[in-house]
Structure 1
Amino acid sequence: MATILCYGDSLTWGSVPNGGRYPKHLRWPSVLNTLLGSQHQVINFGLPGRTTIWNDPFLEGRNGLAYLQAALETFGPVDLLIIMLGTNDLKRHFNVGAYEAAKGVEKLIQKSRMPSDHGFPSPNLLVIAPPNILSPKGAMSESFSGATEKSQYFHQHYQDITSQNQCLFLNSAGVLQPSDVDGVHLDTQGNEQLAKAIFELISDKISF
């Protein structure tokens, strides 16, 4: 049995565009678990607003780097760590772009490979470049002002980081786009498309 930890933000948590949370069976980690089979455990550890390495002045506990080690210990040993973070890094008040988000992911990769006090082996890693942000609407429009253009560079910079650090890589923008409702979050089809793309990538490697 493989333990797969999905470490992400609201796109992993299961936010419905413009408010609410999808039922568990519609969130992509659950869809992935169904595709892989019940002999494997896919853990959804998404949190709305989570960043790669930034402390958000408006939301507590969203620094992804600060909580990664605790997550790996809580759910460990983890066979596969799936990281999909960076969308929230593009919020206007952080004033950074896709390059800085990718460097933040690199810090997460390095943290996940540090020796474990419990003797857990380092997890295999899959890094997912977040989907391109469409024109943000509704509550998203102010927070993500200027993020649409920045998000176009996720693919390039994340691919560079994963190549340098020998991780599996998936460009989610190649398989889905966010909902038209708010331009940021996934609809049910997007959740399904992402789960299927991950399954195709890892299914022949899952006997970790």
Structure 2
Amino acid sequence: MATILCYGDSLTWGRIPNGGRYPKHLRWPALLNGLLGSQHQVINFGLPGRTTLWNDPFLEGRNGLAYLQAALETFGPVDILILMLGTNDLKRHFHVGAFEAAKGVEKLIEKSRMPDSHDFPHPSLVVIAPPNILSPTGVMAESFDGAVEKSQHFHQHYQDIAVHNHCIFLNAAGVLQPSEADGVHLDTKANEQLAQAVYMLIKDTIKS
């Protein structure tokens, strides 16, 4: 049995565009588990507002780097770690772009490969470049002011980081786009598309 840990933000957690949370069976990690089979365990450890490594002054506990080691120990040993973070890094109060988000992901990669007190083997890594942000609406509009153009560069910088660090790479923008309802979060179809894309990437590396 393989343990796959999905470490992400609200796109992994299952945020419904413009509010609420999808039932478990509609979130992409659960859909991925269904594709892989019940003999494997896919853990959804998404958290709305989570960043790669920035401390959000408005939301407590959202620094992804600060909590990754604890997550790996809590659910370990983890066979595959899926990282999809960076969308929240583009909120205007952080004043950073896709390059800095990718460098944050690189720090997460490094953290996942550090020795731990349990001698767990290091997980295989899947780095997902988040989908491009569309025109944010409602409460998203102010937070993500200027983020649309920045998000166009996720693919380039994340791929560079993934290749350099020998990670499996997926460009989410190549298989889906956010809901037009708020320009940031995923509709049910996009959750299905993401689960299928990840499944195709990892199915041959997982033992039945």
Q: TM-score, normalised by structure 1?
A: 0.99
Q: How many residues align?
A: 208
Answering whether residue 202 of structure 2 is matched by residue 202 of structure 1, we say: yes
Task: Provide the rounded CA distance (Å) in 2 between the counterparts of 1:177 and 1:206.
Answer: 27
Task: Provide the rounded CA distance (Å) in 2 between the counterparts of 1:30 and 1:137.
Answer: 28
Return the offset for 1:206: 1.0
Task: Provide the rounded CA distance (Å) in 2 between the counterparts of 1:191 and 1:25.
Answer: 10
Return the offset for 1:207: 1.9
Q: SS state of the match for residue 6, structure 2?
A: strand
Task: Provide the rounded CA distance (Å) in 2 between the counterparts of 1:102 and 1:59.
Answer: 21
Task: Provide the rounded CA distance (Å) in 2 between the counterparts of 1:22 and 1:152.
Answer: 27
Q: SS state of the match for residue 82, structure 1?
A: strand
What is aligned with 1:90?
90
Structure 1, unaligned runs of 5 or more: none
Return the offset for 1:48: 0.0
Q: How does 1:134-153 map to 2 (within 5 A)?
A: 134-153=134-153
Q: How does 1:149-160 map to 2 (within 5 A)?
A: 149-160=149-160
Aligned letter for 1:168?
I
Q: SS state of the match for residue 150, structure 2?
A: helix
1:144-200 deviation digits (Å, cap 9, x = unpaired): 000000000000000000010000000000000000000000000000000000001
Q: SS state of the match for residue 16, structure 1?
A: coil
Q: How does 1:12-31 map to 2 (within 5 A)?
A: 12-31=12-31
What is aligned with 1:190?
190
Aligned letter for 2:171?
N
Task: Provide the rounded CA distance (Å) in 1 between the counterparts of 2:100 and 2:16.
Answer: 27
Task: Provide the rounded CA distance (Å) in 2 between the counterparts of 1:204 and 1:72.
Answer: 23
Aligned letter for 1:75?
F
Q: TM-score, normalised by structure 2?
A: 0.99
Q: How does 1:76-115 map to 2 (within 5 A)?
A: 76-115=76-115
Structure 2, unaligned runs of 5 or more: none
Return the offset for 1:33: 0.1
1:7-45 deviation digits (Å, cap 9, x = unpaired): 000000000000000000000000000000000000000
Answering whether residue 62 of structure 2 is matched by residue 62 of structure 1, we say: yes
Aligned letter for 1:9?
D
Return the offset for 1:116: 1.4
Q: Which runs of 4+ in 1 moved over 3 A?
A: none
Task: Provide the rounded CA distance (Å) in 1 between the counterparts of 2:192 and 2:128.
Answer: 15
What is aligned with 1:38?
38
Task: Provide the rounded CA distance (Å) in 1 between the counterparts of 2:190 and 2:158.
Answer: 20
Task: Provide the rounded CA distance (Å) in 2 between the counterparts of 1:16 and 1:175.
Answer: 19
1:35-74 deviation digits (Å, cap 9, x = unpaired): 0000000000000000000000000000000000000000
Aligned letter for 2:141?
S
What is aligned with 2:10?
10
Structure 1 vs Structure 2: percent identity of aligned residues?
80
Task: Provide the rounded CA distance (Å) in 1 between the counterparts of 2:184 and 2:29.
Answer: 18
